[in-house]
Amino acid sequence: MTETTQPILTLDVEGVSVRFGGLLALSDVSFSVAANEIVGLIGPNGAGKTTAFNVVCGFLAPSSGSVRFPALNAENLGPSQLAKAGIARTLQGVGLFDHLTVVENVMAGAQSRPGGGFLAGLFGLPVSSRRERALLGEAMTELDRLGISSFAKALPGGIPYGIAKKVAVARALMGRPRLLMLDEPASGLDESELSEFAQLITQLRETMSVLLVEHNMDFVMPLVDRLVVLDFGQVIASGTPDEIGTNEAVLAAYLGVDQ
């Protein structure tokens, strides 16, 4: 996509409410992510961050409001349509496939790409095996880029947590996303892994937008362009990290929960 004077939004969430029975989990939530922007979704526990993520991913249908992807010409996608539209999401925890090797896990990220249909596979047509070989090469390159190719043949159960998180990211990147959604990327990582991860995300913005949910403020603050703060299912503030850092409503929400 070429740069335009009026940037087209990658993600546009408008007036989304989600009701679980009598509980209003999200109330009139609006936020957006522009091209090549890194946006953080923060808030105290139970504020509705994951719910907002799940609405964007189509796991939950909003009671009202809309989720659109203007840059991708798509809206209200179901979970299995995301990848094809150019949206990748990592899961809380890591959500790897336990009985597939690391490199197979990464190859799985390209499952949505066209080519190599059922009949081609059944008859073992050259197009099918050629595609598999190409995918294998690509997955190895991706692992190499993240410096974890030595784990390629290991099973997810036998690798350190920090590595598994990288594998999950490598898998997400195999779909060549335009919007990468990271669900708590920092959880469970140590200091050096955190700074490595921050560096990686900064690199990724060259080719995609990033939306992340995170608890770790030290990780989020220097990384993102914009923050959206949720509390009790409502957006209580949004702006640059500097603006948010001095916002009284935000401080009250956090201090109120901490005590």
By the criterion CB under 8 A, which residues form the site for another protein? 57, 59, 79-84, 88-89, 91, 95-100, 103-104, 107-112, 116-118, 120-126, 128-129, 131-133, 136, 140, 149-153, 171, 175
Q: How far is the CB of 113 from another protein (least distance, A)?
A: 8
CA angle (63 as vertex; 57, 64 as ends), nearest 5? 95
Q: How far is the CB of 82 from another protein (least distance, A)?
A: 6
Residues 6+ apart with CB under 8 A from 118: none
Residue 69 or 151 having the CB closest to another protein: 151
Q: How far is the CB of 153 from another protein (least distance, A)?
A: 5
31 burial type by CB count under 10 A (0-12 exposed, 13-18 middle, 19+ buried): buried
Q: How far is the CB of 254 from another protein (least distance, A)?
A: 30
Tokens (6 digits) for 37: 């922007």
Query: What are the residues facing 19 on neighbouring strands?
Result: 24
Residue 117 or 256 having the CB closest to another protein: 117
Q: How far is the CB of 190 from another protein (least distance, A)?
A: 19
Q: Residue 116 phi/psi, 5° resolution?
A: 70, 55
Distance (Å, whole) CA 229 – CA 206: 25
Residue 109 or 233 having the CB closest to another protein: 109
Q: How far is the CB of 146 from another protein (least distance, A)?
A: 14
Residue 68 or 84 having the CB closest to another protein: 84
Residue 89 or 166 having the CB closest to another protein: 89
The Cβ of residue 98 has, within 10 Å, a number of other Cβ atoms equal to: 8
Distance (Å, whole) CA 53 – CA 179: 13
Distance (Å, whole) CA 185 – CA 135: 25
Residue 15 or 79 having the CB closest to another protein: 79
